[in-house]
Amino acid sequence: MPLQNPFHIVLIEPEIPPNTGNIARLCGATGTILHLVGKLGFSTDDRYLKRAGLDYWSEVDIHYWPDLPALQQAYPNGRFIYTSKKAPHSYLTMRFQPGDFIVFGKETKGLPEELIEANLEMTVRIPIIGKVRSLNLSTSAGIVLYEALRQTGALEGE
């Protein structure tokens, strides 16, 4: 049964087709809306993109936006949560709400520094214990989204 107030995953200028395909599949599996923002580093006809999403593309609600302000203007009451390895808070301290927009930056650069600085209280990171610099984008999206679903009770009864 679809969520009444689904979460939103926002990818700003994603660069690697399999990451976006995997995230699209994640969105299809959870009833999450996917927003692709800005210039994509690939064609949406890319065979690697389709391969990662397999045959689930019809299950994904995808929206395209020229930039983040256009998306925010379309959802003036939306609550945007930004993700960055430079964030002061762990995603585990965030109290997610149904309908939140969880925003991820491009694979090579993450989110713009000025966006993070302007939204520090709404920016979270995934703690990394080892010496690895960062996690894969699709892994990160899955970690944060499933915590949001868990907190809001969306996984109960499954």
How high is the pLDDT of residue 18? 83
- Say which residues have a Cβ less than 8 Å from residue 120's Cβ, sequence separation at least 6: 87, 88
Q: Domain holding 52: CATH number?
A: 3.40.1280.10
Confirm whether 3 is domain-assigned.
Answer: no
Tell me if the pTM is above 0.85: yes
Q: What is the pLDDT of residues 32-64, one digit of tens each?
A: 999 999 988 766 665 655 554 456 777 889 999
Is residue 53, in this structure, part of any structural domain at all? yes
> Would you say residue 83 lies in a domain?
yes
Query: How far is the C-alpha of 110 from the C-alpha of 107, rounded, in Å?
Result: 6
pLDDT recorded at residue 110: 94
In a domain, 1, yes or no: no
Q: In total, how many domains does the chain have? A: 1
- Which structural domain, as residue segments, surrounds residue 60? 8-151
Model confidence pLDDT, tens digit, residues 76-118: 999 999 999 999 999 999 999 999 999 999 999 999 999 999 9
The reply to whether 158 falls in a domain is no
Residue 146 makes CB contacts below 8 A (sequence gap 6+) with 30, 155
pLDDT (average), residues 137-148 = 96
